[in-house]
């Protein structure tokens, strides 16, 4: 069983190809309910109630979901075989996100192509499905998610985890910098690092490659 904690959009449909590629392994995608606050603390309280019913499982934390997956791995430590972090971070890194949240609301995100950081947030690097999904998130909830990403620090929780930890890095990933992996390695030198060609949106653009790697990791003891 794979418990997938998704990225900023929180849309299970964007993980459908990955879930299919993982078969016969079952992928349970966490749901970010929008009828309550969406900061990490609130998301944790909601998502933990949807934990898989199987005795053992692997947690995969994607992008925005990485810090939340670390928190959940701590809470379910006795049942988690492995934590896999994918294109993510343990501490807030993207300080301009504090400014980006004030650009909300939007309908079709046309401002992305006009930002000074277009090199990072360009249409060539942003998955079209992500753009569509993020536009469906209520503005107050999206603001809360962006605020959470801009202030989070779960390095202490990460340091205390006992299960094996792996990190999947996209090359190139121009949204989550390599320094985020370096910070994770600083507190967990034992993390195994695996690099795949592609952009930040690995699960959407390289679902079969990511699934093949995760299958190998799931069946690896360390």
Confidence at residue 134, expressed as pLDDT on a 0 to 100 scale: 83
Between 99 and 63, the higher pLDDT residue: 63
Residues 6+ apart with CB under 8 A from 148: 38, 39, 40, 43, 67
Tokens read off for 138: 């209520």
Write out 6-27 in H/E/C secondary structure.
CCCCCCHHHHHHHHHHHCCCCE
Give the confidence band of 112 by pLDDT, cuts at 50, 70, 90: very low
Does the pLDDT at position 186 exceed 60?
Answer: yes
Cis amide bond preceding 105, omega within 30: yes
Confidence at residue 182, expressed as pLDDT on a 0 to 100 scale: 97
Give the confidence band of 83 by pLDDT, cuts at 50, 70, 90: very high
CATH architecture assignment, domain 2-93+152-218: 3-Layer(aba) Sandwich (3.40)
Does the pLDDT at position 124 exceed 70?
Answer: no
pLDDT digits (tens, 9 = 90+) for 154-168: 999 999 999 999 999
């Amino acid at each position: 069983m794979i418990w997938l904690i998704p990225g900023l959009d929180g849309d299970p449909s964007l993980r459908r190809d990955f879930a299919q590629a993982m078969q016969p392994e079952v992928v349970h995608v966490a749901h970010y309910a929008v009828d309550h606050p969406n900061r990490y603390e609130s998301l944790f309280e909601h998502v933990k109630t949807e934990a898989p019913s199987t005795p053992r499982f692997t947690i995969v934390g994607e992008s925005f979901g990485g810090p939340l997956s670390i928190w959940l791995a701590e809470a379910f430590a006795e049942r988690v075989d492995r934590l896999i972090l994918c294109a993510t971070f343990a501490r807030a890194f993207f300080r301009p996100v504090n400014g980006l949240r004030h650009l909300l609301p939007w309908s079709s995100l046309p401002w992305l192509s006009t930002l000074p950081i277009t090199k990072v947030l360009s249409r060539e690097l942003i998955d079209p499905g992500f753009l569509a999904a993020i536009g469906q998130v209520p503005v107050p909830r999206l603001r809360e998610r962006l605020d959470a990403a801009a202030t989070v620090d779960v390095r202490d929780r990460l340091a205390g985890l006992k299960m094996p930890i792996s990190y999947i890095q996209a090359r190139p990933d121009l949204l989550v910098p390599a320094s985020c992996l370096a910070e994770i390695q600083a507190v967990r030198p034992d993390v195994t690092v695996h690099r795949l060609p592609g952009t930040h949106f690995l699960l959407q653009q390289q679902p079969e490659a990511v699934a093949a790697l995760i299958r190998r990791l799931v069946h690896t003891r360390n």
